[in-house]
Structure 1
Amino acid sequence: MCRIFGHFDSQATVHELKTVAALQRHGGPDAQYITTGDTWGLGNNRLAIMDLDGGDQPYVLDGIVVVFNGEIYNHHELRRMLTARGHRFPDLCDGSILPALYAEYGTAFTEHLDGMYAVAVVDLRGEPKLVLATDDMGMKPLYYHWNAAERHLYFASELPALLSFRAVQARAWEPGLDAYLATKTPFSEQTMFDGIRVLPPAATAEVTRGSGLRIRVRDTSVPPADAGPEEAAERVRELLRHEVHRLTRADVPVCAITSGGLDSSLVTALAAERVGELHSFNIAYRGTWPADERGFAQEVASRHGTRHHQVEIDPADFPDLLSDVVWHLGQPNADPITLSTYALFRAVHQAGFKVAVTGDAADELFGGYDRIKAALKAGAGHDWVPAYVRALAAVPRERRLGLYSDDYRHFITAHGTAEDHLAQALTSSPHDRLTAITEVEIGRRLPAYHLRRVDHLSMASSVEVRLPFCQPALVRYARSLPAALKVEGDQVKKVLYAAAGGLLPDSVLNRPKQPFTLPITAMLCDGQRLMEFARDMLAPARLRRHGRLDPDAVQALLRTQSTTPTDASALAVWSLLIHELWLDQFHAATPRNRHEVLA
């Protein structure tokens, strides 16, 4: 596991490259490598997981130079195949097979990879070419800035690092505030920075001076499967067991994250089958708060004999943690779970672990969200799209527009809101309802909102997260199943619950579903330090500096949360707080003239 960075057909000093590397060192503290040519440079920071004495990057073979971030789980099979074709390898590290694989298959090398990855290849055998590639689910993000006029490209695994290249500027994307509040973070390839994008999942990008930048997204669609409930449940359990067992192999200790819900508990149960004295981690908050899940996590740990770690954080410390959370994410994410995630993986690191398996992405694959259930229950001919899109928002449309300054509201209504664009994409989709929803949940929301959060906040503490539910075989099978095996009436994740039968305590299988998140409604109250911090950060004088929010409207929101706290107003306050912290860290306090933008 590593962090990678570089530039192509452009100039960057070694000092710049070392600065980029330094800003990503938390994700790869074990070694640092930089190599340069006349108009290109590649580098990586290494977190040693496999073959601890090997793994030196870049990997080089006859004019092919490669840096790599991630894990290739089928590298042993690929090494045997490539060895039979005459290739030799300096070590047993998973990434060392990549130059030979590229030499054999060119840009189609990704079709042979099973794992999570972001790969950068400089091919110097003819016209110099840069190739960037991401795994099918987007588990390993890769941000880039492309200057089409000059044909310059810069890339890095994290946004703060990319911004340290002198040619990459931290300009706010003007629709970003609305996109963030409408979907909790910008979806798909968009970031909150103008001129910076993220490579989509299953993408292969090629850059040459002659052809410029070309991005091809691999086809990950699957045909429908014809399976009954029992057969499907057995197959899901079989696939998940195989992936969990495979993903617990490493040359360092592996632990499990156990929230107490179905998904992480099932992964923990299967990991315990293979890992002797498995360590499990759960996070909770000091004091008495609603939706505490530690009891469920402890039941799972006791049943499967894990060595359980109960992590506790003090809500009084949250303001001190939030700036670090926002910095590592590089852009706002409105889910309060970000703070919990950051604190949890810090504790995992402090306990001496470099690898953790989690249950992330099961809800997207198997229809675990109430918004999916509601959309599928809506009758034929019923317009389910507006309610589904509204459910994605941090702040509903009317309240959102009421919080904006006059000129920003004018700008957004003139250009269309983020939810307008998403609703149009759903309405015009040629697919059936579940497939259209799945394309949004897996193709747009999961990488942007969920996987980048997990990646950045775990690697902030030098911890690699492995995601069994994101493995290609399981994803393909889940996507092939009919809607009735995922959501039926009020039951969500039907096939996954069936697959977990006999593996988990009844209390976990029968408990009501609740999100693993921070109880911010209770914490954003008078007398709590988090509420005082929000008032300071959202003070009128601060908001006037950027000119997008109406200070009077924000003060009214804070009064509402103080007098009659609700989940909706708490999330709105939290979301604005996170956005203000992001502005503080990445942008000068100079309002833009939106009338010029509109002109």
Structure 2
Amino acid sequence: MQGRNDARTQRRKDAEATVMCRIFGNLAPGAGAPRAARPDAAELAAVSARQRHGGPDEHQVLSGAGWSLGCDRLAVTEPCGGQQPYRLAHLPGILAVLNGEIYNHTELRLHLAARGHRFPDRCDGTVLPALYAEYGTAFAEHLEGMFAVAVLDLRPGRTQLVLAVDDMGMKPVHWHHDPADGSTRFASEIPALLAFEGVTISPREDSLDTVLATRTSFSSRTALDGIEVLAPGATAVVRPGCRPLVRRRTPHPGSTTAEPRTQDVLRHEVRRLAESELPVCAITSGGLDSGLVTALAAEYARESDAPPLHTFHLGYRGRWPDSEAVHARSVARRARTVHHEVAVDPDEFGSLLTRTVRHLGQPNADPIALSTYALFRAVREAGFTVALTGDGADELFGGYARMRAALDAPEGAWVAAYVDSLSAAPRLLREHLYTPAYRAYIAEQGSAADRIEQELRACGPDRAAALTAFETRWRLPAYHLRRVDHLSMAWAVETRLPFCQPAVVAHARALPPAALRGKRALYEAGRELLPPSVLARPKQPFTLPVAAMLTPGSPLLETVRELLSPARLVLGGKLRADRVRGLLTRQLERPNQRDAQALWALAVHELWTDVVQGMRIPVGCVA
């Protein structure tokens, strides 16, 4: 028992040494040279202000001739040293900033100390300058965790900026290279990046088609021309005046366990992420994935003599279809948690939509974004800064019906149907809504859907591997993880994702195909932990009942109607206003999910075009 307590104490000390931040910076031609211009302090302050909501507790920025590096810190625990940007006394020319957590920093510190490096504290990011000094641009291959890292090497003759993100893309970094002046700028969030003077605001011409075809941008390109997001598991090397060179790393194998069962592998990761000096809560939708995380986190709280786990579930005032509240209560009762039911007033949806679009920085057509934003607001208001979620389970364990349908479809017939299932509006509906000029443009340039089809057809005969690779490499980080990161950090809440940990990812990929059909491995894992009613219920996503809410008398309807007014659409030149009006009329007469989803995506894109154009105006932290 004493040995277990000692190990727990050590893990908590390690957890205590981690921080969450928003990061930003730039590298210009001639960086480090005496005559290079120092970045404007007011400009850097404006960049920081745009993402200060994610790091409200401490702000630090260093700058010099042609370079800057800064962070905004969220104090998940009390300060323990390791002030960012990280610097070591014996490596003064190497600076680093970190957004996220490095889980294996204790092992790395021991390894680096044996090679002569000295560290002033136990903060996880303090190892970064030494790790870079030893391994150069390959340093990120040694990191396990959820992270976005920027290392600036200012040693004479070696000046360069290196950006890296974790293998699953849990923590994003966005960048822009200006071919006119040769500068590269980066930030955790797009609105912050747009506060740099050299970054222009130019929505991509195909952004409307992309949001209808795939609900959000899946590739490293964003909805704004010239702004990219670093792909999961990628490292970018930037030399002064040069465009970033991006390469994909070999995935980190992660910490291994001797446990062969899915339940035991997941239990190990939940317990590891639940280590914190501050109380940890769980998001409990009432489904299998969040239910498993909730049950295991509550089990750990009891065994470690910690206070009972708090759980949060979001619903909507009034009577709406597809409520999961009863299932969430059942999970919480079985796990013996302190359960919070958060009820959002639909009258607030218009305001929530604007704030959500602003924080995301690019359109995301999933109505769940409103729910996510409101849910993390409640978590923060209840006093929590750390939350466990069940994101990633469907992609890794074969939970989506579209994946099962694709596996069962005849050869040659599955790709187009699968890609159409990703859309907010099927291909025929999109083409029906477009003006002739925009339809011709998309036909000539190619749609995001076309590019996905080409990628899947080139993946070889292993259909299951191709689907899992696409879902985890592109759709999961872009559609889910970016939304969870941005909308939780909008309220300064750190989310921890057990299913996205390397050990769970490796375990899922090693399972036989039969165990991944319909998440059979997860249902088996939940048999001892969850109520039978939760295991027996049909799969249902945590979302906003948008089809029921786009009906006469709903506050949401008026917001959508205003955003899709004929005058606006004619001005945009991409949509036929009469056919959009016909789609809305059909939804009001015969409400259905397909039409409602298409209308929602159109409205989100229209609002985003307004919001993004206003981002040139300096703004403070908006939550």
TM range (shorter): over 0.9
Cα distance change on mapping 1:8 and 1:431 into 2, 3 Å: farther
Corresponding residue for residue 564 of structure 1: 590
Residue matched to 1:107: 137
* Superposition deviation, residue 522 in structure 1: 0.6
CA 1:344/1:136 → structure 2, altered by over 3 Å: closer, same or farther? Answer: same
State the partner residue of 1:592.
none
* Residues 565, 233 of structure 1: alpha-carbon distance in 2 compared, 3 angstrom cutoff: farther
Which residue number in structure 2 is paired with residue 225 of structure 1? none
Unaligned runs of 5+ in 1: 223-230, 590-599
The match for 2:394 among 338, 341, 363 is 363
**DSSP-derived class of the 1:260 partner:** coil
Distance between the aligned counterparts of 2:94 and 2:579, measured in 1? 57
Q: Is the CA contact 2:27–2:240 (under 8 Å) kept in the aligned structure 1? A: no
Q: 1:20 aligns with which of 47, 54, 58?
A: 47
Q: Does 1:468 align with 2:485?
A: no
Please tell me whether residue 387 in structure 1 is matched to residue 417 in structure 2.
yes
> Is 1:205 the equivalent of 2:260?
no
Q: Which of 308, 318, 321 matches 2:339?
A: 308
Letter in 1 for 2:335: H
Q: Which residue of 1 aligns with 2:516?
A: 486
Q: Structure 2 matches for 1:565-580, cutoff 5 A?
A: 565-580=591-606
- Alignment of structure 1 residues 437-516 onto 2, 5 Å: 437-487=467-517, 492-516=518-542
What CA distance in whole angstroms lies between the structure 2 residues aligned with 1:290 and 1:14?
A: 51
Q: Distance in 2 between matches of 1:84 and 1:505?
A: 50
> What is the deviation of 1:97?
1.6
2:204 and 2:243 map into 1 onto residues whose CA distance is 23
Residue 236 of structure 1 pairs with residue 257 of structure 2? no
For residue 431 of structure 1, report the CA deviation from its aligned partner: 4.9
* Structure 1 residue 110: Cα displacement: 1.4
The answer on 1:517 being equivalent to 2:543 is yes
The Cα shift of 1:2 comes to 0.5
Q: Which amino acid aligns with 1:402?
A: H
Q: Which residue of 1 aligns with 2:173?
A: 142
TM-score relative to the length of structure 1: 0.93
| Larger displacement relative to structure 2 (235-244 or 210-219) | 210-219
Question: Does structure 1 residue 153 correspond to structure 2 residue 184?
Answer: yes
1:227-273 C-alpha deviation (Å, 9 max, x unpaired): xxxx9995221211111101011232211111110000100111112
Counterpart for residue 74 of structure 1: 104
- Judge conservation of contact 1:240–1:468 (CA < 8 Å) in 2: yes
Aligned twin of 1:295: 326
Q: Give the alignment partner of residue 41 of structure 1, picking from 68, 74, 77.
A: 68
Normalising by structure 2, we get a TM-score of 0.90
Distance 1:474 1:93, change over 3 A: same
| Cα separation, 2, equivalents of 1:463 and 1:478 | 28
Code of the residue aligned with 2:575 in structure 1: it is L
The 8 Å contact of residues 9 and 39 in structure 1, kept in 2 or not, is answered as: yes
Amino acid of the residue matched to residue 578 of structure 1?
Answer: V
Counterpart of 2:69, as a letter, is L
1:34 maps to amino acid: V
CA shift at 1:86, angstroms?
A: 3.0
2: CA distance, partners of 1:384 / 1:342: 35
* Paired position in structure 2 for 1:7: 26
Inter-CA distance 234–303: structure 2 relative to 1 (3 Å threshold): farther
Contact 1:336–1:517 (CA under 8 A) maintained in structure 2:
yes
Aligned AA for 1:118?
A: A
Following TM superposition, by how much is the alpha carbon of 1:499 offset from its aligned partner in structure 2, in angstroms?
1.6
**Matched letter for residue 60 of structure 1:** R
Q: Which residue of 1 aligns with 2:5?
A: none
**SS of the residue aligned with 2:65?**
coil
In the TM superposition, what is the alpha-carbon distance from 1:50 to its structure 2 partner? 4.4
Q: In structure 2, how many angstroms separate the alpha carbons of the residues matched to 1:349 and 1:431?
A: 47
**Is the 2:61–2:68 contact (alpha carbons within 8 Å) kept by the matching residues of 1?**
yes
Counterparts in 2 of 1:424 and 1:203: CA distance versus 1, 3 Å? same
In structure 2, C-alpha distance between the alignment counterparts of 1:128 and 1:567, rounded to whole Å: 53
Tell me how far 1:195 sits from its aligned partner: 0.4
The one-letter code matched in structure 1 to 2:348 is: D
Counterpart contact for 1:233–1:499, Cα < 8 Å: no
User: 46-55 or 328-337: which moved more?
Assistant: 46-55
The structure-2 alpha-carbon separation of the partners of 1:259 and 1:408, relative to structure 1 and needing over 3 Å to count, comes to same
Gap change, CA 1:274 and 1:341, over 3 Å in 2: same
Q: Secondary structure at the match of 2:25?
A: strand
**Displacement of 1:51 after TM fit?**
5.0
Whole-angstrom distance in 1 between the partners of 2:281 and 2:376: 11
Aligned-pair distance for 1:555? 1.0
The superposition leaves residues 65-120 of structure 1 with CA deviations (integer Å, 9 ceiling, x where unpaired) of 00110011222222233233333323222212211222222222212211100000
Cα contact 1:119–1:132 (8 A) shared by 2:
yes
State the shift of 1:512 in Å: 0.7
User: Shift of residue 121 of structure 1?
Assistant: 0.5
Matching of residue 555 in structure 1 with residue 581 in structure 2: yes
Q: Could you say which residue in structure 2 is the equivalent of 1:342?
A: 373
Maintained 8 Å contact 1:188/1:443 = no
Q: Between 145-154 and 527-536, report the one with greater CA deviation.
A: 145-154
CA distance in 2, matches of 1:53, 1:439: 39
Question: Quick one: structure 1 residues 434 and 151, their matched pair in 2 at CA, closer, same or farther if it must change by over 3 Å?
Answer: same
Deviations 1:25-79 (A, max 9, x none): 1000010001001010010000012453424100013210001100112222222
Two-structure CA RMSD over aligned residues (Å)? 1.8
Distance 1:574 1:296 in 2: 27
User: For residue 497 of structure 1, what is the amino acid of its counterpart?
Assistant: Y
User: Aligned equivalents of 1:73 and 1:8: distance in 2?
Assistant: 29
Q: Which residue of 1 aligns with 2:121?
A: 91
| Separation in 1, partners of 2:378, 2:614 | 34
Shift of 1:586: 1.2
Residue 554 of structure 1: how far off its partner (Å): 1.2
Deviates more, 1:255-264 or 1:267-276: 267-276
3-state DSSP class of the match of 2:100?
strand
Note if contact 2:368-2:543 (Cα within 8 Å) is conserved in structure 1: yes
Contact 1:52 1:251 in 2 (8 A): no
Q: 1:209-228 residue pairs with structure 2 within 5 A?
A: 209=240, 212-220=243-251
Instruction: Give the match for residue 611 of structure 2.
Output: 585
Query: Could you tell me which of 396, 399, 410 is aligned with 2:429?
Result: 399
The Cα shift of 1:4 comes to 0.2
